[in-house]
Structure 1
Amino acid sequence: MRVYLPLRMSTKTYQDAVAALNSLQSNYANIMAIRQSGDRKNQMNIWEMQEWSRRIGYSTANFDRLNVVHITGTKGKGSTAAFTSSILQMYKDKLPKIGLYTSPHLRCVRERIRINGDPISEDKFAKYFFEVWDSLDSTSSSLDKFPHMVTGSKPGYFKYLTLLSFYIFMQEGCNCCVYEVGVGGEYDSTNIIEHPKACGVSLLGIDHTFMLGDTIEEIAWNKGGIFKKGSPAFTVPDQPVAGYKVLQERAKERHTTLQVCPIYSQLKNVNLGIAGDFQIVNASLATSLASQALNSMALLDEPVAMNPDAELPKPFIDGLLNTKWEGRCQTLQRSNNTWYIDGAHTKDSIEAASKWFKDTVKSSSRKTVLIFNQQSRDAQALLANLYDTIYPDVKFDEVYFTTNVTWKSGKYSSDLISMNTSKEQVEKLEVQLNLAKKWSFLDPKATTHVTADIESAIEKIEQNNQSVNIFVTGSLHLVGGLLVVFDGQNN
């Protein structure tokens, strides 16, 4: 039975919803305190999400109707989710509505909640956002079990969006939904799904150590937490040996199977919708996940064979060709300049993106420019990874280090406001000045620039009359701000 909350007579807008959502962000001081205390997510995170779901009218068992494909990993989970969603959309005669939940967003928060590849509309986002908001205001929890969940309290930013995604997909009657894990898996707010149709783990690496642990084994344990009894799990070849061993153990604990997907030979001759040679691995994982989901819903007679030489159904090829995923190995032409954009922000992803850029432009005679930022991770280590991957095949003539502030006015686009970075550090350009110093050491011949905002960096580059290749990387927040400036959406 589908649950509908009473319609609200309200004039609240999408911008009202974004403002309310931003109020749920944790500030920088709180986040640093949690990191320093070593306090990590635990089972209470899942119990809270179950309770928040009850308060908006659903039990977590209701979400089985969404026929979820659940995906985690360190590198490539977002691309895998996009590929999987696109394949499933090719079966629209049987599955007219495919939901996709991912994070973070680039331009606008609505991108996190998509139906048939399109972000939910502003009107629907606002409508559903305040239905959930008002429902939480008008319901209560047992203070013995949840002493902090008093009437009117709300989950944090990511939890709220996860809750909202379930509500939207249920209200919209989605037939199948692809969920990308936020962080980890075991205690991630998406992990209230009880019976996913398939689970996937993209390439593992070291990231979010303050939440997941310092070793590949601890990280793999967290990622394997999405495995469920009877829900087949799939992963990619070439996982770190220690991490793969833990994934196998987790699958056994959860009474399910874990299979390593092949790299499908047929995809070597396919121009995948997301650029980059490494995307064939993510496309192969998506093929296995979509195949399992379709078979479990009786829409494929049998899953695609786990064989590199297996022939893939035409809808699978079409789905992989038509996948669109901005900010990942994306090329844009503006006037005489070519922009190469990738929001890579881990060691593995920055090396993969840098290799893509190098292989694409190394025979070009154009001037080459880098725009880089990473505000919260070890930015200097990432910059060194980038340098080691690209040099000496490609050398940058100019390098720009900017904050993630969108506009010259000093303001962020409302969808890109982030309270979890140090305002003082941003205003003093501490990270950017240190990165400029680091780059001058790595390559003394390059000209370095520090800008207080993304708009200024773009303007300085575009003042040049000659054709330039520009590589933008280090942060999805940077890439999102760049795309907003390109769109001219100064709000």
Structure 2
Amino acid sequence: MGDSAKSENPQVQAQLDRLAKLSQGEDRLGLERIDALLERLGRPQDRLPPVFHVAGTNGKGSTCAFLRAILEASGKTVHAFTSPHLVRYNERIRVAGSLIADEELAALLTRVLDASDGIEPSFFEVTTAAALLAFAETPADACVLEVGLGGRLDATNVVTSPLVCGIAQLGLDHTKWLGETLADIAGEKAGIAKAGVPLVTQRYAAPAAQQVQQKAEAAGAPWIGRGALWDARVIRDHIRYRDRAGGLKLPMPGLPGAFQADNAALAVAMLRFQDKIKIGKEAIAAGIRSARWPARLHQLAPGPLADLLPRTAEAWVDGGHNPNAARRVSNHIRATFPGDLPLALVFASLKTKEPRAMLRPFKGLAAAVITLPITDHDAFSQAELLELAREMGFNAVAADSLEAAFRLVRSPSRVLVFGSLYLAGQVLSANGEIPD
């Protein structure tokens, strides 16, 4: 089972039920269906505000959050399309700064599904079409689009003239669709390159960088790679950024994790290498401080789920779901958290992921691993993950639900829920923390 959604609004749910019958939510790449669907809808992709198009394996969502926060700090109104949602389907579509209202969402889904006869679009394609319709029909100063899967054949790649494109960090994920090597994946991500449009990227190892360069040259896109035309580094308590226009001393992000400085810097570079929207230094600094992106090293507030832990315990959740994300999160814990509390890792994984590679960075760090399934998704069972964790040498137990997993923690601990954005969404929902 792939993407799916439920809504408390009956009109939205009626359209989601139609969508569920049409599409089982499986990942299906290719632009033929979305092109045909948008043609019937009047090609809304041609009537968008200036578009910032962001791909990547890790960090693309955070990069989008920094872009939106900086643009809004400069007084701009911003549309944003991101995925997946954590708790509410509406989270995917932010219209002029606000999550789309149920009434508007129901009407847009109705229009898209009514136009889809004979096309059989996927869940993501229908969602993309609804977002593009909303963005084309509501004025805004800018539009931030996050790639769903890959880039070259992703439904968001119907936008032919973005203002600037960006690629965040690369890692091995979705290898069934994108290829087995970082170079393969880099080539697919760089498929968002467009003629004359700056392609701003992080720094990559040589084989991946060569692929990005080749794709950019083939498309006629100026490649703005980190380390050549721009760069950034953390110096004590700030980010030192530089490019052709000079240097900036920027604050550290409000989002936790040293790696968020890289995502913030990419957003800054994307803004600095376009010339249509003017952004001042003050807005850049304010946006970096204010950006929020839930379920990324997110400490749970008191709530129904967190309150199941001992009073001396902390609860954290991160939606990372690949080996690169696991290394970044584990490195952050080692570098940042004091050693006063043992780490209890509450872990789950979809069957399309690599649980062994995700667990490996927590060796020597997690005092205990609690395995569990992911409700309503094609995930490994808690028993399968338990066997794997014990085979790897972890002190592991299994639970059949989040609540059961939290009840197993009976001593002062630092609990981290990790392994899936779907799982992270269930954590936020269970704890009453609904993204807005």
TM-score in same-fold range (> 0.5)? yes
Which residue pairs with 1:262 in the alignment?
A: 231
Separation (CA, whole Å) in 1 of partners of 2:295 and 2:23: 23
Give per-residue Cα distances to partners, 1:391-429, cap 9 Å, x unaligned.
1xx342x32111112xxxxxxxxxxx54xx2xxxx6xxx
TM-score calculated relative to the size of structure 1: 0.76
Separation (CA, whole Å) in 1 of partners of 2:90 and 2:183: 34
Which residue pairs with 1:249 in the alignment?
A: 214
Specify every segment of 5 or more residues in structure 2 that has no aligned partner in the other structure, as ranges: 1-8, 241-249
Q: Which amino acid aligns with 2:223?
A: L
Instruction: Show the 5 A alignment for 1:15-414.
Output: 15-26=13-24, 41=29, 45-58=30-43, 60=45, 62-63=46-47, 65-92=48-75, 95=76, 97-136=77-116, 150=118, 153-237=119-203, 239-260=204-225, 261-263=230-232, 266-267=238-239, 270-293=251-274, 295-297=275-277, 299-300=278-279, 313-334=281-302, 335=307, 336=311, 337-364=313-340, 366-388=341-363, 391=364, 394-396=365-367, 398-405=368-375
Say if 1:271 and 1:109 are closer, same or farther in 2 by CA, change over 3 A.
same
SS in 1 for 2:231: coil
User: Are 1:437 and 2:387 an aligned pair?
Assistant: yes
Give per-residue Cα distances to partners, 1:153-198, cap 9 Å, x unaligned.
5411011111111011112223211111111111111001111100
Which residue pairs with 1:34 in the alignment?
A: none
SS in 2 for 1:199: strand
Task: Compute the displacement of 1:270 (Å).
Answer: 2.1
Task: Compute the displacement of 1:455 (Å).
Answer: 3.2
Say if 1:291 and 1:24 are closer, same or farther in 2 by CA, change over 3 A.
farther
Task: Compute the displacement of 1:386 (Å).
Answer: 2.8
Do the aligned partners of 2:44 and 2:133 also contact (CA within 8 Å) in 1?
no
Say if 1:132 and 1:205 are closer, same or farther in 2 by CA, change over 3 A.
same
Q: Which amino acid aligns with 1:287?
A: V
Do the aligned partners of 1:217 and 1:243 also contact (CA within 8 Å) in 2?
yes
User: Are 1:485 and 2:430 an aligned pair?
Assistant: yes
Task: Compute the displacement of 1:116 (Å).
Answer: 4.9
Q: Which amino acid aligns with 1:267?
A: I
Task: Compute the displacement of 1:110 (Å).
Answer: 1.2
Q: Which amino acid aligns with 1:56?
A: L
Do the aligned partners of 1:154 and 1:160 also contact (CA within 8 Å) in 2?
no
More divergent stretch after superposition (477-486 vs 172-181): 172-181
Separation (CA, whole Å) in 1 of partners of 2:135 and 2:31: 20
SS in 2 for 1:350: helix
Do the aligned partners of 2:19 and 2:113 also contact (CA within 8 Å) in 1?
no
Do the aligned partners of 1:472 and 1:479 also contact (CA within 8 Å) in 2?
yes
Say if 1:376 and 1:25 are closer, same or farther in 2 by CA, change over 3 A.
farther
Task: Compute the displacement of 1:107 (Å).
Answer: 1.0
SS in 1 for 2:270: helix
Separation (CA, whole Å) in 2 of partners of 1:180 and 1:27: 18
Give per-residue Cα distances to partners, 1:250-296, cap 9 Å, x unaligned.
11111121112311555266241221001111110000112334x22
Identity in percent:
25
Do the aligned partners of 2:113 and 2:126 also contact (CA within 8 Å) in 1?
no
Q: Which amino acid aligns with 1:341?
A: V
Separation (CA, whole Å) in 1 of partners of 2:15 and 2:383: 35
Separation (CA, whole Å) in 2 of partners of 1:154 and 1:212: 23
Task: Compute the displacement of 1:367 (Å).
Answer: 4.2
Do the aligned partners of 1:12 and 1:126 also contact (CA within 8 Å) in 2?
no
Do the aligned partners of 1:329 and 1:356 also contact (CA within 8 Å) in 2?
no
TM-score calculated relative to the size of structure 2: 0.85
Computed over aligned residues only, the root mean square deviation of the Cα atoms, in angstroms, reads 2.4
Q: Which amino acid aligns with 2:295?
A: G
Do the aligned partners of 2:73 and 2:286 also contact (CA within 8 Å) in 1?
yes
Say if 1:135 and 1:359 are closer, same or farther in 2 by CA, change over 3 A.
same
Q: Which amino acid aligns with 2:55?
A: T
Say if 1:198 and 1:258 are closer, same or farther in 2 by CA, change over 3 A.
same
Specify every segment of 5 or more residues in structure 1 that has no aligned partner in the other structure, as ranges: 1-10, 32-39, 138-149, 301-311, 406-416
Q: Which amino acid aligns with 1:87?
A: I
Task: Compute the displacement of 1:12 (Å).
Answer: 5.2
Separation (CA, whole Å) in 2 of partners of 1:356 and 1:482: 21
SS in 2 for 1:263: strand
Aligned residues between the structures: 402
Q: Which has the larger radius of gyration?
A: 1
Separation (CA, whole Å) in 2 of partners of 1:456 and 1:431: 15
Task: Compute the displacement of 1:17 (Å).
Answer: 3.1
